[in-house]
């Protein structure tokens, strides 16, 4: 795992459950946010005695502070393993995806959160499925499985199968992909994840544009189907390709907004500090 700053993800909702963690939850317990004042007989813990409330009670009852439990949440990564994810330009797209997933697994463990992982192309890759649980070696498991994964297939429909297997309770879900999907597929996936907190992570490579010749004959290959064709490159065609790429980003952003989420764009290498900043801006 590359040496980077630890990702600090923040959420705007309170997870349910009684597993101790670092996030303010919905249940009563040990935490730092006041939930209510309750009678000592109902919550016999004199360490939390509220002297002011007790002295002001005309019936001379003793009151204690009740807090929200700091709860763990489930952090889940869904990885697109279709053929386009095998693209290698300035960076190896699959290695970038591996770096992101391992960093998230490590961050989840440091926050006492459960971590889960699912990868899919046309089908769910069953041997690369890790149900969410607290696991200190999850990042090593992810590294081992993703590093040997061969991206293939012309779609990532298996992610819809993975979405149906996720916990019913709200979780923090990261979808890592280049989103080179047929129109409507991303919306279908986000619809299936609508009760979760979803962060689409969109991978791009500057080489897809920067390494295109502006003139002359070039071979262009469809990343999903593998089909190649010869084209005569010219400035107008390069501009058209750039516009198509820009429109692709806008399409992903629009589909994400429709389901209340905002994509995080990774151009080239992954920087964990930028993902932390993304959460800080989202939480503001």
Question: Structural domain boundaries of the chain?
Answer: 20-71, 74-283
**Can you state the percent helix, strand and coil of the chain, rounding each to 5?**
35, 25, 40
User: What was the pLDDT predicted at 250?
Assistant: 93
CATH architecture of 74-283: 3-Layer(aba) Sandwich (3.40)
pLDDT digits (tens, 9 = 90+) for 138-156: 999 999 999 999 999 989 9
Do the beta carbons of residue 108 and residue 139 sit within 8 Å? no
User: What was the pLDDT predicted at 105?
Assistant: 96
User: What was the pLDDT predicted at 11?
Assistant: 84
Greatest CA separation for the chain: 91
Smallest Cα–Cα separation from 33: which of 73, 72, 75, 71? Answer: 71
User: What was the pLDDT predicted at 171?
Assistant: 94
User: What was the pLDDT predicted at 127?
Assistant: 94
Regions of the chain with pLDDT less than 50: none
H/E element, 93: helix 93-110
Cα distance between residue 38 and residue 66, in whole Å: 7
Pairing mode of beta strands 130-133, 114-120: antiparallel
Q: How far is CA 87 from each of CA 91, 104, 120, 205, 263, rounded to the nearest angstrom?
A: 8, 22, 16, 9, 20
- The encoded tokens of residue 13 equal 């909702």
């Amino acid at each position: 795992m590359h040496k980077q700053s630890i990702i600090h993800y923040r959420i705007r909702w309170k997870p349910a459950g009684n597993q101790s963690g670092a996030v303010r939850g919905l249940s009563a317990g040990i935490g730092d946010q006041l939930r209510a004042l309750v009678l000592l007989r109902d919550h016999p813990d004199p360490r939390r005695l509220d002297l002011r409330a007790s002295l002001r009670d005309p019936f001379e009852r003793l009151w204690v502070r009740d807090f929200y439990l700091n709860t763990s949440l489930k952090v889940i990564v869904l990885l697109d393993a279709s053929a386009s994810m095998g693209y290698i330009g300035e960076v190896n797209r699959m290695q970038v995806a591996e770096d992101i997933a391992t960093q998230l697994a490590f961050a989840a463990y440091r926050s006492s959160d459960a971590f889960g992982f699912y990868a899919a192309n046309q089908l769910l890759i069953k041997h690369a499925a890790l149900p969410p649980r607290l696991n200190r070696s999850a990042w090593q498991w992810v590294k081992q499985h993703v590093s040997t994964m061969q991206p293939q297939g012309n779609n990532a429909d298996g992610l819809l199968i993975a979405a149906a297997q996720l916990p019913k309770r709200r979780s923090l879900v990261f979808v890592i992909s280049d989103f080179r999907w047929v129109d409507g597929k991303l919306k279908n996936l986000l619809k299936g994840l609508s009760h979760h907190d979803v962060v689409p992570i969109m991978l791009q490579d500057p080489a897809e544009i920067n390494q295109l010749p502006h003139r002359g004959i070039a071979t262009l290959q469809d990343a999903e189907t593998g089909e190649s064709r010869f084209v005569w490159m010219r400035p107008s065609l390069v501009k058209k390709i750039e516009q198509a790429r820009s429109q692709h980003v806008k399409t992903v952003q629009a589909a994400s907004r429709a389901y209340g989420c905002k994509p995080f764009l990774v151009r080239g290498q992954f920087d964990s500090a930028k993902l932390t900043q993304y959460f800080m801006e989202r939480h503001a």
